[in-house]
Every structure is written in C-alpha cells, then in structure tokens.
C-alpha cells in the first residue's frame, strides 16, 4: 500500500487498527510491569541518601523511575483509545459531544489548523558571523 492509499483508508479500518494497537499496548504494559517488579528497590533510608546526594544514584533506582514513567504513558495511551468506545456512527449521537469536546477539543482543533496550513517551514540555523 503506497502512501496515498494509506491516507485514504476508511474510519472503520482505522478503528480496527487502533484496537489492535491497544492490545499491543496492553501486552507491552504487562511486559514492562514484569521488568519493573524485578528491579530491586532501595530502602527508604537509602533513597533519602540518594535524594540528599550523600549516596550516588544507582542504575536500579534510575530504572525504577524510567519503567514507572513508561508504564504511566502506556496506560495513558490505552485509556485515550478506550475512553470513547465504541467508535461508531451510532455512538456519536448519544449526548457525548460536550464531554469529548472538553477532553479532545484542543487536540482536534490543533490538528485541523495544522493540516489546513501544512507543516511549518523548516528554518535552517544561521551561522554566526564574526
């Protein structure tokens, strides 16, 4: 499928792809969570020493934070896809317009304006003159 064909697929196909991606996100979340559970956690005292700077940051502590943030963002992605189910024409007329607009309106407006104008021109950095 070339790029032009890809840009003209139906909303129903996009919804099916979105649901498949959501299942992948859920699987990835479980994998990251399993890794997170394997990382040894410092004691509260050790953590306080790291925060104060009297003990160096360890790779394990860093991984706890990275894996936690990863799980958060995967969860947010899944929730964003799932929150407005079902994606069907019949679900659009059930009084959810105000709810979805409050949550998605800014993102939709940004995308509409961005696509109408096209991507901004890329400015090349100028060399400093002496």
Residue 71: which of 81, 63, 82, 59 has the closest Cα? 63
Distance CA 98, CA 62 (A): 41
- How far, CA to CA in Å, does 10 sit from each of 51, 87, 91? 52, 13, 17
Distance CA 35, CA 25 (A): 15
| Residue that the structure tokens 């090349």 belong to | 124
What string of pLDDT tens digits covers the 130 residues of the chain? 555 555 678 888 888 899 899 999 999 999 999 999 999 999 999 999 999 999 999 999 999 999 999 999 999 999 888 876 666 666 666 655 655 666 677 777 777 887 788 766 667 666 666 5
């Amino acid at each position: 499928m070339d790029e032009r064909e890809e840009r003209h697929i139906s909303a129903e196909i996009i919804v099916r792809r979105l649901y498949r991606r959501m299942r992948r996100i859920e699987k990835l979340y479980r994998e990251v969570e399993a890794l997170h559970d394997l990382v040894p956690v410092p004691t509260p005292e050790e953590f306080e020493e790291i925060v104060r700077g009297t003990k160096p940051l360890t790779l394990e502590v860093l991984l706890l934070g990275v894996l936690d943030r990863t799980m958060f963002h995967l969860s947010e992605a899944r929730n964003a896809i799932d929150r407005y189910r079902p994606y069907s024409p019949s679900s659009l007329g059930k009084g959810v317009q105000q709810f979805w607009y409050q949550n998605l309106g800014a993102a939709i407006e940004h995308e509409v304006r961005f696509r109408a104008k096209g991507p901004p021109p890329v400015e090349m950095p100028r060399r400093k003159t002496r």
